[in-house]
Structure 1
Amino acid sequence: MDMEKLIARINELSRKNKEVGLAQEEIEERDELRRRYLDNFRRNFRQQMDSIKYVEDDDDMIKH
């Protein structure tokens, strides 16, 4: 399931929960979808953090 569909389904279940409540099966689906969303978010965030390159200050590069 791509992220847009995942988020849409999470939102759909959230709206239904506010309006009429969820059956146990839907609660379990919602929890699984949320877990998948957070896993994906963490993985993407980690990739972004890993791609950051650190540069130490170098006196030759600093202009006064």
Structure 2
Amino acid sequence: MENKGIPQELIDRINFLAKKKKTTGLSEDEKIEQQSLRETYLAMFRENFRSHIEMLQVYDKDGKEVTPEKVKEIQRKKGLRDD
């Protein structure tokens, strides 16, 4: 799956189950599904966040790059830096 965004269907289903939980309650199967969907959402969110951080370059007010060395190393390994 090349699209790294979180599918809207996943978000919609999570929201549906959250609303249902507040109004009529969830069956045991729905509770299990809700937990599984939440775990999937968090895993996708973390991966997206990590990807954004790995692409980040930080500069101080003088224009000097101050990107943390750990991030620079990850960028080098992914071929995103040539320094």
Q: Same fold (TM over 0.5)?
A: yes
Q: Which has the higher contact order (CA 8 A, sep 6+)?
A: 1
Whether contact under 8 Å (1:3, 1:37) holds in the other structure is no
The number of residues matched between the two structures is 55
Match of 1:61 in 2: none
Is 1:49 aligned to residue 53 of structure 2? yes
Whether contact under 8 Å (1:6, 1:33) holds in the other structure is yes
Match of 2:20 in 1: 16
TM-score with structure 2 setting the length? 0.62
Question: Larger Rg: 1 or 2?
Answer: 1
Q: Which runs of 4 or more aligned residues in structure 1 lie more than 2 Å from their structure 2 counterparts after TM superposition? A: none
Once residues 49 and 9 of structure 1 are traced to their aligned partners in structure 2, the CA distance between those partners, rounded to angstroms, is 28
TM-score with structure 1 setting the length? 0.80
Is 1:27 aligned to residue 34 of structure 2? no
